[in-house]
Amino acid sequence: MAVEEAALRNGSRVLRTGMGPARARIAAARALAVDAAGVAVAGLCGGVDPALRPGDVVCATELRAADGTAVPVPGSALLAAALRRRGLRAHVGPLVSTERVLPPRERARLDGALAVDMESAWLADAAGGRPLAVLRVVADAAGRRLADPRIAADGVRALRALRRGGSALSEWASALRPRRVLLAGPRSFCAGVERAIDIVELALERRGAPIYVRKQIVHNEHVVADLERRGAVFVEELDEVPAGATVVFSAHGVSPAVRDEARRRGLDVIDATCPLVSKVHAEARRFAEEGRTIFLIGHAGHEEVEGTTGEAPGRVRLVEDVRDAERAEAPDGDRVAYLTQTTLAVDETDEIVDVLRRRFPALRGPGSDDICYATANRQQAVREVARDADVILVAGSVTSSNSRRLVEVAEREGARAYLVDDETDVDVAWLRDASTVGVTAGASAPERIVRRLVGALAALGPVELEERTTTVEDVQFRLPRELVS
């Protein structure tokens, strides 16, 4: 309609279709002749899902027609994220197109759909293989008849939201282009993370829900949410665990004080501490027994640092950066040692160790690097990719130290790098001038998130996919004896 066209005038070419499938088919044929990088279908709609309010925006993931045919619309998550950044309530899901206006009772029968309109399914042909987006704003909520006196005010609210949504469409359009996508390898789960997740899954399978887990088993929101759905209960401290219940210690390890508390409370403990973290704990005990001051290079508040510190109380001095290293003190400069958190950036850690060695020539270190093989491998892989990429997307949660380090490593190589939990965190503005995008994942992020990121990029134009593997990992860790059949 003309009012919808007016709301969408934002620099893009707007073709007004008119209402209904016949006019939509004609408009789709006209659009095929337009030289454009992509096609966006935009306008008003009627709500089907009772949760949708007038002014809410629907980004269709699928267009369903009355004859049962369905057209997928990939990449809706990126557009929805752009809308939410503008303060709009955006939803993603199926949209149904019908040949006439449906009353509330008939809308209620459209099982699984978010909204309904009279054009989108037929306008999908306008894409002709080009990227397609569908943005519809709810003008009349589910259960509301057109004769309802509130409809006029709701329509005004919807048109305002449509006008605001137009800028998100422009941002989406500016990101449309063919791209090369470089996949860094190794990426995603390491052996320690796989072991920790396997431990919780096996505990649930063999002992039944609920299984309690102290802290996040690994630092990834998707992994935690998936295990919660299966019956895992994540707690911050042991006093939240019922007496006698099964509790899993996370991959980051715990201090002896936590183990003592678990024994006092009679908890059934399964230890998922990564063997490489256990190695650092053993080194801390050894250095403490030798009477050494231990400079622990790591980040304050991280569970791994807290666990290692607990192994040598009174002996550990936390060193977070070069400045801390320059100020570090020890009662006896000839009896000092250093250890590191396993998920640090290798190059930054080397700088800190160099400062400590300069200040304390007698400094002892671990027998082998504390930074784990997976952290080092992923940093080297992203370093190689960053040299050829305009933008790097790192899949990982903000709580993940090793994922945050991947962002920093990529930035030091000159690439713009961003940490994203999944594709809904991607800002299409980052991709406007990016012809080559690197994608990797922290050691605690599932590979399926990488696939979702690649799918979102492919929805913005043709993608040439290239694997960049710097090394192949074949490390495996044994399960704890409590779970060995």
Domain of 17, CATH number, reads: 3.40.50.1580
Residues 218 and 263 in one domain: yes
Domain residue limits at 378: 179-188+374-469
The pLDDT value recorded for residue 478 is 94
Q: What is the pLDDT of residue 145?
A: 66
Q: Does residue 399 fall inside a structural domain?
A: yes
Would residue 485 count as lying in a domain? Answer: no
What are the two backbone dihedrals, phi and then psi, of residue 234, each rounded to the nearest 5 degrees?
Answer: -95, 130
Residue by residue, DSSP assigns 256-286 as HHHHHHHHHTT-EEEE---HHHHHHHHHHHH
Q: How far apart are CA 351 and CA 338, in angstroms?
A: 13
* Separation of alpha carbons 94 and 448, rounded Å: 22
Question: Which pairs from 108-111 meet CB under 8 Å and 24+ separation?
Answer: 108/48, 108/142, 108/143, 110/48
Instruction: Identify each DSSP E strand in 146-304 by its residue range.
Output: 179-185, 211-214, 232-235, 246-249, 268-271, 293-297
Residue 366 placed within a domain: no
Query: In terms of domains, do 322 and 452 share one?
Result: no
Instruction: Out of 62, 119, 171, 304, pick the active-site residue.
Output: 304
30 and 145 fall within a common domain = yes
Q: Are residues 342 and 441 in the same domain?
A: no
Looking at residue 148, its pLDDT comes to: 66
Do the domain assignments include residue 62? yes
Question: What's 364's DSSP letter?
Answer: B
CB 48 within 8 A of CB 127: no
Among residues 309, 332, 359, which one ends one of the domains? 359
Give dist(CA 298, CA 151) in Å, integer. 59
Helices and strands (H and E) in the chain: how many: 16, 18
- Main-chain dihedrals φ then ψ at residue 203, nearest 5 degrees: -60, -40
Q: Are residues 215 and 183 in the same domain?
A: no
Q: Tokens 């422009």 — which residue?
A: 170
Residue 157 lies in a domain: yes
Measured CA to CA, the distance from residue 307 to residue 187 in angstroms comes to: 26
Do residues 297 and 269 both lie within one domain?
no
Q: What is the DSSP letter of 186?
A: S
**Last-in-domain residue among 273, 288, 323:** 273
Alpha carbon separation from 214 to 211, 246, 273, 445 (Å, rounded)? 10, 11, 11, 19
Helices 401-412 and 373-386: angle between axes, nearest 10 degrees: 30
Q: Are 275 and 192 in contact (CB under 8 A)?
A: yes
Q: Are residues 158 and 14 in the same domain?
A: yes
- Does 267 share its domain with 282? no
CA dist 141 and 160 (Å) reads 16
Residue 485 confidence (pLDDT): 65
Extract the residue ranges of the chain whose pLDDT is less than 50: none
| pLDDT per residue as tens digits for the range 392-429 | 999 999 999 999 999 999 999 999 999 999 999 999 99
Distance CA 130, CA 28 (A): 13
Is position 48 within any domain?
yes
Q: Read off the amino acid at residue 408.
A: E
User: What pLDDT is attached to residue 101?
Assistant: 86
Residues 195, 88 share a domain = no
- The structure's pTM equals 0.91
CA distance 407 to 42: 36
Tell me, yes or no, whether 150 lies in a domain.
yes
| Calpha distance 348→405 (Å, rounded) | 10
Task: Please give the structure tokens belonging to residue 273.
Answer: 């501490």
What is the per-residue DSSP string for 97-153? E-SSPPPHHHHTTSTT-SEEESSHHHHGGGGTTS-EEEEEEEEE-TT--TT-TTHHH
Contact criterion met (CB below 8 Å) for 422 and 449: yes
Q: How far is CA 414 from CA 181, 188, 382, 385, 417, in A?
A: 17, 23, 12, 11, 9
Shared domain check, 463 and 443: yes
Cα 304 to the center of its chain, rounded Å: 22
* Residue 379, CA distances (Å) to 27, 275, 283, 375 in order: 50, 20, 24, 6
Contact yes or no for 463/131 (Cβ under 8 A): no
Q: Identify the CATH number of the domain in which residue 285 sits.
A: 3.40.1010.20
What is each CA distance from 381 to 273, 385, 387, 443, in whole angstroms? 25, 6, 10, 12
Let me know: does 378 contact 442? Beta carbons within 8 Å.
yes
- Tell me how crowded residue 290 is: count the other CB atoms within 10 A of its CB: 12
Cβ of 3: how many Cβ atoms within 10 Å? 14
Residue 197, pLDDT score: 98
Residue 368 in domain: no
Domain count along the chain: 4
- Residue 9: its pLDDT value, please? 76
Residue 6 has a pLDDT of 78
Residue 149: predicted pLDDT: 63
Q: Quick one: angle between helices 373-386 and 346-359, nearest 10?
A: 120
CB of 429 closer than 8 Å to CB of 171: yes
Residue at a domain's end among 319, 335, 359: 359
Same-domain status, 27 and 105: yes
- Do both 15 and 69 map to the same domain? yes
Query: Could you give the C-alpha distances from 42 to 153, 225, 432, 479, in angstroms and in order?
Result: 20, 34, 21, 53
pLDDT in tens, 354-388: 999 999 999 999 988 888 999 999 999 999 999 99
Strands (E), 298-351: 316-319, 336-340
| Catalytic (active site) residue 304 | yes
